[in-house]
Amino acid sequence: MRKFLTIGIVAVIALFSIYYAFIYYVPYSDGVRSGELIKISHKGVLIKTWEGEISQGISGAQIFTFSVLDKDKEVINKLQEYQGQYVKVNYAERFRTFSWLGDTRYFITEVKPERSPHFRN
């Protein structure tokens, strides 16, 4: 009986580990988006995650919502610095996410300031 229980527990842990590795390391898609960075926040009660929004249209008609992993400190610092400015972000989209990683499936990997197309010079 103990042997069966031990094998069952190990199998469940192995399956969860494989599922987690797949979700974490295998992106569904990746790409680039740009717009005005309107929000970056560290939110949550028990588990804090970094979440943000980019307005991609005039008057905020189209909002791109994203998450940032805690380990990406440089990206978080740049997002806080560029708050309210026009930015270009590289992202990876995952099949699913876990609550301790972020609220969305879109995770920002790089951010750069960008010249807004709404201003002419």
pLDDT at 59: 63
* Residue 9: band (very low, low, confident or very high) from pLDDT cuts 50, 70, 90: very high
Please state the domain extents for the chain.
Answer: 28-113
Structure confidence by residue, pLDDT tens digits, 80-114: 999 989 999 999 999 888 888 888 999 999 999 98
What residues contact residue 106 under an 8 Å CB cut-off, 6+ apart? 64, 65, 66, 67, 91, 92, 93
The model carries a pTM of: 0.80
What integer pLDDT is reported at residue 34 of this predicted model?
A: 92
Contact by Cβ (8 Å): 74, 53:
no
Model pLDDT for residues 33-89, shown as the tens digit of each residue:
999 999 999 998 888 999 999 998 766 678 999 999 999 999 999 999 999 899 999
Mean pLDDT of the chain: 89
Q: Domain 28-113 sits in which CATH superfamily?
A: Nucleic acid-binding proteins (2.40.50.140)
What's the pLDDT score for residue 121?
A: 53
